[in-house]
Amino acid sequence: MGGSPRNDGPEMAVRDGQLVPVTCEACGCRLESVARPGATAWFHFGRMGGSDARGCRVDCVEAAHDAGGRAALAA
């Protein structure tokens, strides 16, 4: 049986009392966690060249997201 091991660690967040994957508010793609000193941020999985692993081309593909999937874009 192939595949990656299940990781219910920081890739998950609690919304409405349920444990759910962190997804982008703009496009719905799953995000992966990146630990930073004092915090965790979420980014599009497989981001490269302005798109993510699914081929989504959204403005926030390179931006850090919070646990609610909202991107922290520079104004």
For residue range 26-64, list pLDDT tens digits in order. 888 888 888 877 778 888 887 777 787 777 788 888 889
pLDDT of residue 70: 92
Question: What is the per-residue burial (b if ≥16 Cβ within 10 Å, else e) of 27-65?
Answer: bebbbbbeeeeeeebbbbeebeeeebeeebebebbebbb
- pLDDT bin (cut points 50, 70, 90) of residue 10 is low
